[in-house]
Amino acid sequence: MNKENILKKMESYSLTSFGKTLAKCSYKEKYIALAKALMEEIVPTWIQSEEKFEGKKQAYYLSAEFLMGRALTNNLLNMKSKAIVEELFEDMGIDFNTIEEAEEDAGLGNGGLGRLAACFLDSGATLNYPLTGYGIRYQFGIFKQLFIDGFQVEIGDNWLEHGDPWSIRKASEAITVSFADGDVLAVPYDTPIIGFGQKTINTLRLWQAEALNKFDFEEFNHQNYDLSVKDKNDAENISKVLYPNDSNDEGKLLRLKQQYFFVSASLQDLVRKYKEKYQDHNFDNFAKLHAVQLNDTHPGVAIPEMMRLLTQQENLSWEKAWKIVVDTFAYTNHTLLAEALEQWSVKLYQELLPEVYEIIVKIDQQLREELEAKGITKKELPQFEIISNGMIKMAWLSIYGTKSTNGVAQLHTDLLTEVELNHWYKLYPERFNNKTNGITQRRWLLQSNPELSNYITELLGSDNWITNLEELKKLNQVSDDKEVLKEFINIKQTKKNQLADYIKENEGIEVDPKSIFDIQIKRLHEYKRQLLKAFYILDLYYRLKEDPSLDIVPRTFIFGAKAAPGYFRAKGIIKFINEIKKLVNNDSEINGKIKVVFVENYRVSYAERLFPAADISEQISTAGKEASGTGNMKFMLNGAPTIGTYDGANVEIVEEAGEENNFIFGLRVEDIAKIENYDPKAEYVNVKGLQRVIDSLIDGTFDDGGTGMFKELHDSILKGASWHKPDNYYIVRDFDDYRKAQLEVDQAFREKMTWAKKCWLNIANAGKFSSDRTIDQYAKEIWGIEKA
């Protein structure tokens, strides 16, 4: 690939796509022309990759989310062509950053589940494993977040407004998916997943829902214009939005349709291709050639759907089909929250998927018979029932119908096997295993932090760390080198300056780049305890008001999070934080010692600026509630110590980098297990400053616009609710310990070289947390696939 060739192709695409010369194209149009030119380079290798895996066992990752982020820079880095393209635009007098910024974030995911899936695909291709992703091509993503008077407001994220130059529509491979209320067409769009060095290019296949009959001419002719496109609109709703609000039955039905839609299309796709390639209608070798991973329970309907395909369409016996299903499928559990273990009402399944429901009934009966044969008593039986109290337990279905169930951090897996799923573990101990999550260093260091990447390569004398993150261990040897630590401090300051400029431009807030950048970025959920951090900020503000001379290192508190549209309490927390932000940032009496930023519309491209600039990583979930976390790993890799609970992958982070180089606080899992008859009111009154900040929710300090959000938050802590006890996530109990840990951060940050060493030792010991390691384990221990 050379500059002249790319430029020539870009000129051609400018003419044919936009009807103008490249010079007259907007930045957005130039980006699209470049992407199309690069696709010409990518597709031949893509085809070759498909060919080299022919006849070999392949893995397929079924996920409701793939939070891919922008593709341009990631693809150029993996193609080892970024310098060429940057030079090309420099010759044209254009800053390449403006082209990067012209690309929309792909609206295909929301949280860690989707980002993990994206990292896994990157690692699969880089390690030369045959790994295909299957999901939904959401037209509007989850939503674009706006703050209006501090409230979260959702608008459509029309990321496909200008098309997606990285995907190829394969209309000839469309599949019909049947529901009780009619059939829809699943049209595949294939996106290349480029491994580093471009030796292997795998595929992300996303399904778009379309109507079989897109336009009813007869209805139109009768002037029933709405009816003429009803089928089209109903079908397209399936792939309109990620996680539509399901607070009523209509929303629940749409979510169920989404899940079945992409699962059925994906499995039909595998079956069709298998029959075409191998002419094997007995499916004797299907499990030998396919490994299908269910990313949480969203694709759990795959188990009965595969049984339906094999028994009803391919006429296999039930026994044979069941063995194929169990041998083919594996399940990843992502939650310890009982309320988050997905369940569907029998009524909805009967209404929408009656044939699938009948198969679930048969699976449930088969399980009962097996359990009785194993000596499980009638008293014990209900804890295993897949269908129970009018609900279908998708986690139980996913455990029973697969050969493997894995947790995503060692603590998480231990809690699954010893507590939450102990009854299943006793039944199938051989099926349970741990696969600690990981992140791809290609995006989260090489791409996000080129300054640090270049310095690491310089110190190590090679860039082997890009594909073998354990190479970072060698950085331990220079952890006492003052010149190395000074250079790290300079790089960190550069990233903080860049983020400060970006925040000023995008949020309109001026922050002190010399302050501690204290960052908490993740989904907004009560167990992640953004509220704990908010209470701490307000307490610190009040202490500063009482004593303006209070000796603290200036601090910038940064949040980034979206709340699910129907999650009232989470939206209340966002409003509360934004009220605190307004109070703190507009008070000149505290001399700018603290600032609060809640970044609007947090997304991957914003995250790529936040992780490298962080001084401290907030991982403060209630112990035992966070399955793993991957944000903690991204912060660690970029040299930010963790302030956090002994939870999820935090446990393994401090094992690798040392507890002395992080700030662990609060209750541990074993502490919580011992708590009985907990009433937070005593600590609420006795912990200095706590009552004042909690009562700010109801004493008129802040205004929730008459929504009742703040009183509901206040009650959730002190009174509980019908579905949970008071202070369910132990914010009150952990508050003082968190405050003490924050004081430790303040004191430690003052010793610049000592602080820099803590940061450096986190980087040097982050090697374990590469998704390359995770995928290697999946490939060898669950999927049984081999590298090309």
- Neighbouring C-beta atoms of residue 199, cutoff 10 Å: 17
**pLDDT tens string 63-97:** 999 999 999 999 999 999 999 999 999 999 999 99
Q: For the domain that residue 122 is a member of, what is the CATH number?
A: 3.40.50.2000
Report the largest interatomic distance among the alpha carbons of the chain, rounded to a whole angstrom.
82
Quickly state the pLDDT bin for 537 (edges 50, 70, 90): very high
Query: CA–CA separation, 683 vs 535, rounded Å?
Result: 14
Query: What's the whole-number mean pLDDT along residues 337-355?
Result: 92
Give the pLDDT score at 197: 96
State whether 451 and 525 are in the same domain. Answer: yes
- Name the residue among 735, 732, 700 with its Cα closest to residue 718: 732
pTM of the complete model: 0.97
Query: What's the whole-number mean pLDDT along residues 530-547?
Result: 98
State whether 421 and 508 are in the same domain. Answer: no
State whether 379 and 453 are in the same domain. Answer: no
Quickly state the pLDDT bin for 15 (edges 50, 70, 90): very high
The answer to the question of residue 268 being in a domain is yes
Query: What's the whole-number mean pLDDT along residues 274-295?
Result: 96
β-strands 182-194, 201-211 pairing: antiparallel
Quickly state the pLDDT bin for 614 (edges 50, 70, 90): very high
DSSP SS3 for 92: coil
Give the pLDDT score at 630: 97
Question: Dihedral of the CA atoms 261, 266, 269, 271 (nearest 10)?
Answer: -110
Quickly state the pLDDT bin for 230 (edges 50, 70, 90): confident
Please give the positions annotated as active site: 334, 522-523, 528, 630, 634
The answer to the question of residue 15 being in a domain is no
Query: What's the whole-number mean pLDDT along residues 354-374?
Result: 97
Answer whether 407's CB lies under 8 Å from 627's CB. yes
State whether 430 and 481 are in the same domain. Answer: no
Give the pLDDT score at 22: 97
State whether 172 and 215 are in the same domain. Answer: yes
Query: CA–CA separation, 189 vs 180, rounded Å?
Result: 26
Of all residues in the chain, what percent carry a pLDDT higher than 70?
100
State whether 394 and 254 are in the same domain. Answer: yes
Give the pLDDT score at 214: 81
The answer to the question of residue 123 being in a domain is yes
End-to-end CA distance of the chain: 24
State whether 394 and 499 are in the same domain. Answer: no
Give the pLDDT score at 712: 97
Could you tell me which residues are beta bridge partners of residue 147?
152
Give the pLDDT score at 345: 97
- Number of alpha helices (DSSP H) and beta strands (DSSP E) in the chain: 33, 21
The answer to the question of residue 92 being in a domain is no
Quickly state the pLDDT bin for 207 (edges 50, 70, 90): very high
- Specify the amino acid at residue 103: E
Give the pLDDT score at 483: 98
The answer to the question of residue 95 being in a domain is no
- Neighbouring C-beta atoms of residue 17, cutoff 10 Å: 15
State whether 489 and 393 are in the same domain. Answer: no
**pLDDT tens string 629-670:** 999 999 999 999 999 999 999 999 999 999 999 999 999 999
Residue-range definition of the domain harbouring residue 218 = 53-69+105-437+776-783
The answer to the question of residue 577 being in a domain is yes
Query: What's the whole-number mean pLDDT along residues 296-301?
Result: 98
Quote the mean pLDDT of the chain. 96
State whether 667 and 745 are in the same domain. Answer: yes
State whether 556 and 420 are in the same domain. Answer: no
The answer to the question of residue 680 being in a domain is yes
State whether 374 and 499 are in the same domain. Answer: no
Query: What's the whole-number mean pLDDT along residues 763-779?
Result: 98
Give the pLDDT score at 602: 98
In SS3 terms, 112-178 reads as HHHHHHHHHHHHHHHCCCCEEEEEECCCCCCCEEEEECCEEEEECCCCCCCCCCCCEECHHHCEEEE
Does residue 279 register a pLDDT over 90? yes
736, HSE (Cβ side, Cα atoms, 13 Å): 11
φ/ψ (deg, to 5) at 126 = -65, -35
Give the pLDDT score at 216: 76
Query: What's the whole-number mean pLDDT along residues 219-242?
Result: 85
Does residue 558 register a pLDDT over 80? yes
State whether 529 and 427 are in the same domain. Answer: no
Does residue 340 register a pLDDT over 80? no
The answer to the question of residue 162 being in a domain is yes
Could you tell me which residues are beta bridge partners of residue 144?
155
Give the pLDDT score at 350: 98
Tally of structural domains, the chain: 2
